[in-house]
Amino acid sequence: MNTGVSLASKTGILKRGGNERMMKNATRVSLILAVCMAAPAISHADATTYRVRNDNRSSVTFVSDAPLETMTGKSSKVTGSITVDPADITKTKGSFKVPVVSLSTDNDLRDEHLQGDGWLDAKKYPNIHFEITEVVLGKKDSRELKKNKGTKVQVKGKFTAHGITTPAIATGFVTWSGGSLQIKAELTAKLEDHDISVPSIVRLKVANEIAISVDLRAIAN
């Protein structure tokens, strides 16, 4: 009898031990699955939208360097938004616009011509627009933004002026502080690509290729 009780007790202990191991394994598997399922949500949550506000803290400058004259214009009325995941900046999306009527060359008559229907036609096409379609990094460049450290980027996008959209590439630096982004970049645009013709009388004073630089400050929502 004692032997039977002993065997039964041992069998019960073995069964309980096996059940406990099975429960621990099941719990471990559940935790792993939970982490895997949560990972995309965590990554998505890390993507933050930053807004460029019309607060005179951002600007766009353009330069026409022609044989007989160099013309510089500027606007501080830039607005837009950019969504960035600091862990992977290649996922960045965003767009910005500048009102044509805000462009100033410090010459009222010239500004009137620039904004008129013979040039940028502000009434018909009120904004100049840039949309980010892709952020390209070098083979050795990190996808991760480092806090308060400038990161060199190449941005592919769509540039729209005078109602015509063309592909464009901008190069520059992004500095991330957590609550804000500072973006400095340069690109070029050709007037002829946007169906803007230069009259022969001023052809030596207006360049076909326009250099554009941006200095943007975007604040997290």
Q: Which amino acid is at 42?
A: I
- Same-domain status, 25 and 78: no
Q: pLDDT tens digits, residue range 129-154?
A: 999 999 998 888 888 999 999 999 99
- Same-domain status, 8 and 60: no
- Same-domain status, 27 and 69: no
pLDDT at position 42: 39
CA–CA separation, 155 and 59 (whole Å): 18
Burial of 179 (0-12, 13-18, 19+ CB in 10 A): exposed
Q: pLDDT tens digits, residue range 90-142?
A: 999 999 999 999 999 999 999 999 999 989 999 999 999 999 999 998 888 88
Burial of 114 (0-12, 13-18, 19+ CB in 10 A): buried
- Same-domain status, 51 and 39: no
Range(s) of the domain holding residue 36: 1-45
pLDDT at position 202: 85
pLDDT(17) > 60: no
pLDDT at position 44: 43
Contact criterion met (CB below 8 Å) for 188 and 208: no
pTM above 0.85, yes or no: no
